[in-house]
Amino acid sequence: MTSFDCKNKFKPLTEGTYIKNAEEYKRLYKQSIEDPNAFWYEKAQEFLTWDKSFTTISSGTLKQGNVKYFEDGYLNVYQNCVLRHKEKKPNDVALIYEADDPEDARTITWLELSEQVQLYARVLKHLGVKKGDVVTIYMSTSPEAVYAMLACSYVGAIHSVIFGGFSSAAVRARVLDSKSEVIFTQNLTKRRGKLVPMKTTIDQAVEGIDFVRSVLVDEHVCNLKDQYEMRSNRDIYLKHFVSEFQKGGKYENENADMQPMSMNAEDPLFLLYTSGSTGKPKALIHTTGGYLLNAALTHKTVFDIREGDRYGCMADLGWITGHTYIVYAPLINGTTTVLFESTPDYPSITRYWDVIDKWGLTQFYTSPTAVRFVMTYGTEPLEKFSLKSLRVIGSVGEPIGVEAWNWYFKNVGKSKCYLVDTYWMTESGAIMISAIPGVTTLKRGSATLPLFGINPQLLVKNGGSKNIEMSMQKKKKQFLEIAENSQSGILTIKGHWPSITRTILGNHKRYLDTYLNPYPGYFLTGDSAYRDMDGFYFIKGRIDDVLNVSAHRFGTSELESALTLHPNTIEVAVVGMPHKIKGEAIFVFCVLKNKQVEENKIKNELKLLLQKTISKVATPEHIVVVESLPKTRSGKIMRRILKKIVTKNYEISTYGDLSTLLNPDSVKQIVSNVKKLF
């Protein structure tokens, strides 16, 4: 792996970063692991305003699955995210809404945000929403969705945001599971200029579910009433209803000075469904105190957040990245945050660059899948943009790979911005492993070093390594913690941290069995990683995505990263197929930039590339060119579908839960291409 110390080239960080230098990082990191209570006590005072201070910092253990932080402390989200900033800088911009149509862009000040959240909260109160109730939010990435999220905690309710692109079946499963009685939605939204029928989808989703008593409909796209129905006794036009609570309205005086709910630090703030591989979707629960604290701390640390910054995360609100790094962390830190409703190629492929220059963004955070997508258009679209306001650029969601890393760093960061590859997951609530601007030496392809309170440990099954520090025998499972560097293993986190998810809604056993019981005392991330000689982490991908070819183990991501080095590949997915002799053989799916090439030629080149960069053993058995790969909304390739296909199972109905799939059509095409092979 190439080490890449680009410190000297960076923009001078004259005002000093939040974490000043490597020594300070090391000192604080050590404290956060060895004396976590002292560390978190201080940070909890620094980042949050408490209604009632806590006396206990943390309690419980991973083994028992009963971790708590600040359990007797009380705080309110509205005060922390909105009120304290409104009081200081009412007319500064809190939200930048970059709508699907760039002409519809607008900004919202802290004052406006506070007014809207209060009004939405009064609406919820009027509808009888109480502390602990679950409220579903099925909206696009828009200011109204943020008002709804914050209004929930104002009245003590738990929000469940469902990605606006999900089908009625996906929404239905989530509404049923969370027993959510009240739903926020929009009449329609626009995506790439096309209308998306949100309200109609909700109607189908909740058909026959009697406990859904109110559907609040924001008229996001005007004057199209013939496109959807409104049901009396259940459906309410949100804007009109909100106006009834304003001066001169029917409910002008109802709860006019309602105070935000003071929440116990351990009260749930939200639940968020993640795509389980099969079966029922699972709702992970995040709390109010610990989650908010680590969200804010990691945001400030990783993005070098300063007063006056304009920070832009391009994610969708329905993803954990949207929750933590569009809404909660920036708002706690009083940072202007962007709500990007569109896609990188609408109305043209320069959309991201337009947004950066138009608003003077100081930070830009997106996914490798988006970087690879804009890369396919080359550097020409970037030429007329200066992008000079940027200081930090970030990546999240998958391993970024060397080629995309280089391109992003050079063409977007102009070789001057810090590129932070941030590794984390819905379950962690906040970034776990990432570089820190001004502090960490960057290495291409590495998420680098752990953040505060995160103690990563690589585990191998007994017998897998000679460098043994410790062995444990528990439930007949033997595993070893790898003490030394330059090795790979299962990535776990030893001990707990404030923003770790506390449970799965209604299924604590599944929570324990999935994350905590496999290796008692350790949180199982489900990823594998390599730690190099400097202690830097390289995430290799999900554990299930390791291939064993003739007793050689390959991570799918290292194979894919090598294959994307070919100038004509946009995206690649590698899965293992059963093989009589080799045990497993490598099956490659690839999407090409230029489709007018001879397929056999490119297949040969890809074979050679793997042989050269990885090993002869890594010669693929089959390479299939496809139009697109099946992906989740957050850009993750659904390899389990591809695995079914390569085992000649062509029955799409047996592929398990496909509700989170972004492009279902891709599956049929891949099935038909693979069928031709055999």
Which residues would be at the binding site for ligand 6R9 (CB under 6 A)?
Answer: 274, 320-321, 396-399, 421-426, 447, 525-527, 539, 542, 634
- Residue whose CB is less far from ligand 6R9, 320 or 326: 320
| H/E run at residue 312 | strand 310-313
The answer to whether the CB of 236 falls within 8 A of the CB of 250 is no
- Residue whose CB is less far from ligand 6R9, 187 or 556: 556
- Residue whose CB is less far from ligand 6R9, 185 or 561: 561
- Non-local (6+) Cβ contacts of 415 within 8 A are 6, 9, 409
Helix (H, G, I), strand (E, B) or coil at 423: strand
In the complex, minimum distance from the CB of residue 51 to ligand 6R9, in angstroms, rounded to a whole number: 30
In the complex, minimum distance from the CB of residue 376 to ligand 6R9, in angstroms, rounded to a whole number: 21
Q: Degrees (nearest 5) of the Cα angle 596, 558, 316?
A: 75
420 vs 391, 446, 607, CA distance in Å?
A: 11, 9, 32
Q: Which residue bears the tokens 């258009």? A: 377
In the complex, minimum distance from the CB of residue 294 to ligand 6R9, in angstroms, rounded to a whole number: 13
Residue type at position 669: Q
- Residue whose CB is less far from ligand 6R9, 526 or 630: 526
Question: Any idea what DSSP says for residue 635?
Answer: S
- Residue whose CB is less far from ligand 6R9, 116 or 488: 488
Cis peptide before 347 (omega within 30 of 0): yes
- Non-local (6+) Cβ contacts of 419 within 8 A are 392, 393, 394, 395, 405, 408, 409, 413, 435, 442
Phi first, then psi, for residue 319 (nearest 5°) are -105, 155
- Residue whose CB is less far from ligand 6R9, 422 or 455: 422
In the complex, minimum distance from the CB of residue 35 to ligand 6R9, in angstroms, rounded to a whole number: 28
- Residue whose CB is less far from ligand 6R9, 123 or 539: 539
Question: Cα–Cα distance between 430 and 452 in angstroms, integer?
Answer: 11
In the complex, minimum distance from the CB of residue 540 to ligand 6R9, in angstroms, rounded to a whole number: 8
In the complex, minimum distance from the CB of residue 189 to ligand 6R9, in angstroms, rounded to a whole number: 22
Q: Which residue bears the tokens 């911005």? A: 417
196 vs 167, 185, 308, 477, CA distance in Å?
A: 11, 12, 35, 49
In the complex, minimum distance from the CB of residue 397 to ligand 6R9, in angstroms, rounded to a whole number: 4
Question: Cα–Cα distance between 49 and 51 in angstroms, integer?
Answer: 7
Closest by CA position to 282, among listed 272, 291, 290, 292: 272
Question: Any idea what DSSP says for residue 339?
Answer: E
In the complex, minimum distance from the CB of residue 327 to ligand 6R9, in angstroms, rounded to a whole number: 14
Please state the length of the chain: 678
- Residue whose CB is less far from ligand 6R9, 133 or 427: 427
Question: Cα–Cα distance between 218 and 187 in angstroms, integer?
Answer: 6
Helices and strands of the chain, counted as H and E runs:
20, 32
- Residue whose CB is less far from ligand 6R9, 36 or 397: 397
Residue type at position 5: D
The answer to whether the CB of 185 falls within 8 A of the CB of 217 is yes
In the complex, minimum distance from the CB of residue 420 to ligand 6R9, in angstroms, rounded to a whole number: 9
In the complex, minimum distance from the CB of residue 314 to ligand 6R9, in angstroms, rounded to a whole number: 13
Q: Which residue bears the tokens 């802290």? A: 110
In the complex, minimum distance from the CB of residue 426 to ligand 6R9, in angstroms, rounded to a whole number: 3
In the complex, minimum distance from the CB of residue 525 to ligand 6R9, in angstroms, rounded to a whole number: 6
Question: Cα–Cα distance between 617 and 558 in angstroms, integer?
Answer: 14
- Reported in sequence order, the residue ranges of 63-188 that DSSP labels E, i.e. its strands, are 68-69, 74-75, 93-98, 106-109, 134-138, 158-161, 182-186
- Residue whose CB is less far from ligand 6R9, 172 or 323: 323
Could you give the count of Cα atoms lying within 13 Å of 667 in the half-sphere of its Cβ?
24
- Residue whose CB is less far from ligand 6R9, 261 or 295: 295
- Residue whose CB is less far from ligand 6R9, 214 or 440: 440
- Residue whose CB is less far from ligand 6R9, 201 or 422: 422
The answer to whether the CB of 287 falls within 8 A of the CB of 265 is yes
In the complex, minimum distance from the CB of residue 283 to ligand 6R9, in angstroms, rounded to a whole number: 13
Q: Are strands 235-237 and 214-218 parallel, antiparallel or unpaired?
A: parallel
